[in-house]
Structure 1
């Protein structure tokens, strides 16, 4: 799937693109059927909500599960990012965010690139998220909220929040959020929230400021996020475990468009268990490690 000139201009202006019902129900069913088994695993890659057994985020499903390994190579998710970067991409991060009914906690206001820069030493913001809804998303079950055009500010000041939720995040303070919202239109479009049926897809800039509220509704809001990075822009430090920030910088090779309804062979190297190496970390930049070797 390639982007039109109008879509490229809209992305540059607003920082995101929304594609309602891009994936068919039978394609979504392939993915939703694999989620319960993934969430049931007692592995480090399943981060659970504070004080709850509900999964907040599942990492690296594309290394564990065949359906998600195929999704990680899906042209509808990968090719638009290549269009925007003019370059091949690799998988920096793969996660299934499980904002479960009654238990899904907030995601504070943040930029994804802020975390990738501070934790992973990613050189520039030439990386972004592509998300697909596995459930219908409405105004009640904690939809994503964006501040349109906020990516134009580049990297904004953030603090490392280690206490609000079970997952640490580099978050933006309320005063700056208020200014960004006012700049984007205030009550007239300063915050937008794409909603739609399962199978809808969002593509958004790594500097776009976004958040989501808790899910107090009786409806789950599970979404898959592919964090794709230009191969020339790979991370320079392995401070976080490999199951969170991947270390394979090889370009993604796309499968055919029907890969969610046909069983194309894919490698799932962690299918029988995550290797111990996936937990190893280092605060030393990669270049310094190479020099020492």
Structure 2
């Protein structure tokens, strides 16, 4: 067993779970590396572990992004690729990974200054794309995704050293109480839940459909929720959610008639690049965890993603 002295965020190494205090900052360089957010917004992110910015993108921009994502989900040459993940028990596309490489418009999106400068400001450095994907949760049949900390997976299965990454979700559809919106536990980013269970070989093939390893135990999860509650990210299309890599989150199934879709990207600090995975695990594929040939996501000069 790896001791805390060797790895402060050891997980999946024992038969019992543990709650470990965060060892890393939430906001780096005092939030002064860039100036996309106000001091109040930085403070809110540091306190809660997430920040919702409403109506960040225009209707024209969201319409164009949605059309690109829809086109990709209907393109047989893309759906057949390993980057495409289907819903459990069906051929409906759940996610398409590495969209910033597969699509020119989404390549521009990840460098949009409204997004990348927030990541640079919070993480206190230049950043690169650890992972990107388009997520679809269709009406009536979109499946749930159980509670988890992304960092737990990225640390164990990808070798991400520290909590110096954040996720960004651009809402392509209105998120309401009924269509399975993202749910976050405020303040949960300050405690790391060490999970039970040895990671199976090629775990990612199953976990991207339904995650069963690297998920918190009910007692620890209940404690986090009793301390912070649960916040649903209900907002209009064009809004953006930024959340810390260790914030506990999940979503319910969508049995409403209203589909939900987003473009999701993970910004990692250029000072936090991946090591070999923990415990001798085989690295996950490049389209899930970028570890070679990447470069800094430099902000574009324009604030317009598409022409008006």
TM-score of Structure 1 vs Structure 2, range by shorter chain: 0.7 to 0.9
Aligned partners of 2:241 and 2:165: how far apart in 1? 14
Question: Which of 136, 140, 151 is the equivalent residue of 1:113?
Answer: 151
> Is the 2:113–2:303 contact (alpha carbons within 8 Å) kept by the matching residues of 1?
no
In the alignment, what sits opposite 1:196?
Answer: 235
Mapped pair 1:239 → 2:277: no
Question: Which of 129, 145, 155 is the equivalent residue of 2:167?
Answer: 129
In the alignment, what sits opposite 1:157?
Answer: 195
> Is the 1:49–1:55 contact (alpha carbons within 8 Å) kept by the matching residues of 2?
yes
In the alignment, what sits opposite 2:266?
Answer: 227
Aligned partners of 1:43 and 1:178: how far apart in 2? 38
> Is the 1:105–1:165 contact (alpha carbons within 8 Å) kept by the matching residues of 2?
no
Q: TM-score, normalised by structure 1?
A: 0.83
Aligned partners of 1:138 and 1:231: how far apart in 2? 35
Aligned partners of 1:98 and 1:180: how far apart in 2? 28
Note the alpha carbon deviations across 1:149-203, whole angstroms, 9 max, x for none.
000113543555966872446211222111111112xxxxx11112111001000
Helix, strand or coil at the partner of 1:154: strand
In the alignment, what sits opposite 1:48?
Answer: 86
The alignment's C-alpha RMSD in Å is: 1.9
The alignment covers a number of residue pairs equal to 258
Ranges in structure 2 where 5+ consecutive residues have no aligned partner:
1-34, 277-281
Aligned partners of 1:158 and 1:235: how far apart in 2? 23
Q: TM-score, normalised by structure 2?
A: 0.79
> Is the 1:49–1:165 contact (alpha carbons within 8 Å) kept by the matching residues of 2?
no
> Is the 1:120–1:235 contact (alpha carbons within 8 Å) kept by the matching residues of 2?
yes
In the alignment, what sits opposite 2:296?
Answer: 251
Note the alpha carbon deviations across 1:73-111, whole angstroms, 9 max, x for none.
111111011111210000000011111111211111000
Q: How does 1:77-226 map to 2 (within 5 A)?
A: 77-157=115-195, 159=197, 166-168=209-211, 170-184=214-228, 190-226=229-265
